[in-house]
Amino acid sequence: MDWWLIWLIAAGALIVIEMLTLTFYLLWLGIGTLAAAVVAIAAPEAILLQVIVGSVVALVLTVFTKPLTRRFHNGKGFKDAVDDLVGLQGTVVEDIHPDAPGIVKVGSETWSAKSEEEIGKGETVIVVHRGSAFLQVNKWGG
């Protein structure tokens, strides 16, 4: 198998996983592996060069975008729309167990959700915390 194809498959996997986690950690690695794939097409025998270029691209993106994203998040008027979910009510679409996440509908959107207690389908919940991939919910007592 050609190295450019291996790099391309790795980049695709990293970017898909990034889309599932929404953390931006794997996005830079995915872009770095895309750069390595480009180098592999141009210089198929230079595996060390491919690794170096991919690593440098990922490192540069990580280093230089961190202050930019920090400045953006700390900027005046910035508010993450997902933070508005805390305190909202939702309905359980798929059962939530303490050892297995379920799905809740909050407004018009569905989210993966965890809870320390078992909550059945159709029950009303309140969002108490937002993680990077899951909402933490409790049964609504109102």
Quote the pLDDT of residue 57: 96
Q: Domains (ranges, CATH) in the chain? A: 3-74 (no CATH), 81-139 (2.40.50.140)
What's the pLDDT at 1? 78
Contacts 24+ apart (CB under 8 A), 120-126: 120/92, 120/95, 121/92, 121/93, 121/94, 121/95, 122/91, 122/92, 123/91, 123/92, 124/89, 124/90, 124/91, 124/92, 125/89, 125/90, 125/91, 125/92, 125/96, 126/87, 126/88, 126/89, 126/90
Which value, in Å, is the radius of gyration of the alpha carbons in the chain? Answer: 21
The confidence score (pLDDT) of residue 30 equals 94
Q: What is the pLDDT along the chain (142 residues), one digit of tens a residue?
A: 799 999 999 999 999 998 887 667 788 999 999 999 999 999 999 999 999 999 999 999 988 887 766 665 565 555 555 567 888 999 999 999 999 999 999 988 899 999 999 999 999 999 998 887 889 999 987 5
pTM equals: 0.52
